[in-house]
Amino acid sequence: MTATRLLPTLHAPRLIARAMSIFTALVGLLHTGVAGAVPSFARQTRMACASCHTVFPELTHFGRMFKAGGYVIDNLKQVKDVSLERKENLSLSDLPPLSLMIQVSDTQLAKPLPDTAKAAGSAQNGTVAFPQQVSIFYAGKIAPHVGAFLQLTYANDSGTIGIDNVDLRYADMRVLPNDQSLVYGVSLNNNPTVQDLWNSTPAFGFPFVSSNSALGLPYATQIDGSRGQDVAGISAYVFWKESVYAELGVYRSAKQGTAGPLDSTSAGGVLATAAPYWRVAYETNQGPHSLMLGTYGMSFQLYPDLAGCPSCNPPTTTGYGNLLGGPSDRFRDVAFDLQYQFLSEPHTASVMATHIHEAQTLNASVLAGAAQRLDNTLTTSRVTATYYYKRQMGGSLNAFSTTGTQDDLYIATTTHAPDTRGVTAELSYLPWLNTKFSLQYTAYTKYAGLKQNYDGLGRNASDNNSLYVVAWLAY
């Protein structure tokens, strides 16, 4: 969330301190909170998981339509009321759409991380997270046409319960001539792309679960999870013939942990204006084949916070950000994505890909001496192929790559380069459709710009390779 902003401001003079700082920030960045498989939907619709998911949390076409329709298909008995004119004014499920999710994991790194106090020492390898995450969901209908996906999460890294992904929706449908459908709606949410229907976009993209004690991408684009739970947005969408999807929205900063008006001290910076978000996708379904081609993006201006910048001119201990209203950093994210699904029995397979390009114009950072270059770029690509047999046993293979401009001030790593790439392989077994046991291995071929000695302390990219075992129970 805010870790991507913290990194550029961490300009500790000594390499050891820098490495420790990066580690701390990275661990924070890895709290992704991706989780979209909610048994309360199954209870509400009285339909099996397989209606909406290939294997949770990946959505089928029906699952996408359920989401676009506002999570309101309800086959339970209702508590009802009507006005004197017999107009219905209450329709409440007799079962609240609540669910619980637990993730328990163990992470083994190829080489232990340095001790956070003394680099000569090593952290313990083999990190048990019990639990890594526990979430409570209210996921389902609130009223006719109004539904919610609301997640509260306890995570072991924060040690607290906090708001996680939220997507509140109003949706309706019109029947057009020739029995064509036009679904339309509004989403109020706190994470750009959490409202999206496809699993090729960041919020519900692969990996659906990942270790929070292994190192992830040192830098991510803004739309790639960096603003989750840091903003609030409203977007309107239309979905014509279950095929052509268009969405337009705006986001504003909406931080947790503070109720007062945002100012220059707000951690993670403050969006200067309402930030537009857009999404266009075309989906076609033929027999067992489903193909989606799409594009999405976001553009915004950010007032950097006053989080501290020792390398700024002049150095500051409280940060380099200006008062709100001063210069801002601009980020323009444009992404393309693709999803192909083959749904048959007993085989299901899918391919998901996205390519995100971010153009940064760092007016505020350059002015403060916290960035060397005015115009930087950051580009992330991911491709994932997944196969399951009987929706019970299967796995995914994922390749990822992030490249970007080297900036001696803005990027805090030793190399000052964000370039990172590698692969993730995952094997999963689901004895029941709502219980998943996964073995995940991530291998890096480049990390923060280099294959070897990327931190100046002798640590290689492959030292960050991780083996991750996780049990994911949703009920």
Partner 1 sequence: MTSDLKLPLNARSRASIPRWRVSALLLATVLLLPATHAWSDGAPNAVQHLAVGVCATCHGARGISNLSKIPVLAGQSEAYLTAQLHAFKTQTRGDADAIGYMWGMAADLTDEQILNLSHYYATAAAPAETHASSRQTVMAQISVGHDIYTQGIVERGVPACSACHGQEAHGLGDFPRLAGQHAAYITKQLLAFQNTTRDVAVMHAVTTTLQHAEMTAVATYLQSLP
Q: What are the residues binding partner 1 (CB under 8 A)?
A: 45-48, 50-51, 61-62, 65, 69, 73-77, 172-184, 186, 234-238, 241-242, 246, 248-250, 272-274, 276, 285-288, 301, 313-314, 327-328, 343-345, 361, 363, 366-369, 374
CA distance 172 to 144: 9
CA distance 35 to 100: 11
In the complex, least distance from residue 49 CB atom to partner 1, rounded to whole angstroms: 9
Residues 6+ apart with CB under 8 A from 17: none
- Whose Cβ is closer to partner 1: residue 132's or residue 301's? 301
Tokens of 225: 């999870």
In the complex, least distance from residue 159 CB atom to partner 1, rounded to whole angstroms: 37
Contact between 201 and 353 (Cβ < 8 Å):
no
E-only strand ranges, 320-374: 329-343, 347-362
In the complex, least distance from residue 248 CB atom to partner 1, rounded to whole angstroms: 5
Nearest to 29 by CA among 6, 59, 62: 6
In the complex, least distance from residue 111 CB atom to partner 1, rounded to whole angstroms: 41
- Whose Cβ is closer to partner 1: residue 116's or residue 435's? 435
CA distance 369 to 391: 53
| Phi-psi sector, 398: left (phi>0), alpha (psi -120 to 50), beta | beta
Residues 6+ apart with CB under 8 A from 257: none
Cα separation values, 144 from 65, 93, 169, 171, Å = 16, 10, 11, 9
CA distance 233 to 254: 9
Secondary structure (DSSP) of 410-430: T--STT----EEEEEEEEEEE
- Whose Cβ is closer to partner 1: residue 39's or residue 422's? 39
- Whose Cβ is closer to partner 1: residue 155's or residue 250's? 250
Nearest to 56 by CA among 419, 362, 430: 430
Cα separation values, 453 from 58, 331, 401, Å = 37, 30, 19
- Whose Cβ is closer to partner 1: residue 116's or residue 243's? 243
In the complex, least distance from residue 351 CB atom to partner 1, rounded to whole angstroms: 19
- Whose Cβ is closer to partner 1: residue 91's or residue 462's? 91
- Whose Cβ is closer to partner 1: residue 14's or residue 179's? 179
In the complex, least distance from residue 139 CB atom to partner 1, rounded to whole angstroms: 16
- Whose Cβ is closer to partner 1: residue 241's or residue 451's? 241
In the complex, least distance from residue 138 CB atom to partner 1, rounded to whole angstroms: 20
Tokens of 15: 């390499």
In the complex, least distance from residue 226 CB atom to partner 1, rounded to whole angstroms: 20
Q: What's the CA dihedral at 328, 329, 330, 336 to 10 degrees?
A: -150
Secondary structure (DSSP) of 43-85: HHHT--HHHHBSSTTSB-HHHHHHHHTTS----S-EEEEE-TT
- Whose Cβ is closer to partner 1: residue 272's or residue 352's? 272
In the complex, least distance from residue 288 CB atom to partner 1, rounded to whole angstroms: 7
In the complex, least distance from residue 81 CB atom to partner 1, rounded to whole angstroms: 18
- Whose Cβ is closer to partner 1: residue 112's or residue 326's? 326
